[in-house]
Amino acid sequence: MYGWDSRIETWYGPNELDAASPPDRRLLRSLREAPGHSWYGRLHCSASNEPQERLFVLVHELSDCGVASIYCDESKAGPAEIVAVLPPARRAQLREGFAFEFLAFAGFLGSVSPGAALRVHDEIEAALAAGSDSATLVFSISSGLWPNDLDPVLSRCVEKVATTLRHWLEPVGAGAVPVALQASERGTAEVSGYTGLR
């Protein structure tokens, strides 16, 4: 996972996501049952020794990646985090302007300052060039709209959403895990949502 923290204007990564970490069963089921290529819904997340928080997630399936915007409960200011997941099976379809388009989307939502845009673009390009074709790449942009003291909960939510998107985007039979066979989750995540957004 690579990312940009807008609060302190710092790039980080690569950080490894736990490959053995199971996807969120309910979120994965909701994504797979969605009639369109988008899903929106409520997600309750918690981290160790932290209270449960209600977030909202908007997910889009694109030809080369999945993108999720994670919003704080009742936020009117924009997403707390924007996540893009690029699984190996879709890397051959990666659009040439991915870094620019992802950054433009995040900038449009106010998650990246104009002064940081070139640096973030160059970091995404470098990560794409250095990344293995057999690895899932995850890019995350934190807007800084989430209170510092709740960062562990947001981090847990971002990891869970990224892991779930990875499983959702994998072709059936290529390591995708059936929802019914998922192990129980660490932490808590409760999902309800609306499907079929276009």
**Per-residue pLDDT tens over the stretch 124-164:** 999 999 988 888 999 999 998 877 877 888 899 999 999 99
Q: Which helix (H) or strand (E) holds 41?
A: strand 38-46
The candidate with the shortest Cα–Cα distance to 43, out of 65, 24, 62, 67, is 24
Contact 106/124 with Cβ under 8 angstroms? no
pLDDT digit string (tens) for 29-39?
999 999 889 99
Q: What pLDDT is stored for residue 179 in this prediction?
A: 34
What pairing do the DSSP bridges indicate for beta strands 10-12 and 188-195? unpaired
**Which pLDDT score, from 0 to 100, does residue 173 have?**
53
Regions of the chain short of the pLDDT cut 70: 19, 74-76, 172-198
8: which DSSP letter? T
The predicted pLDDT at position 75 comes to 65
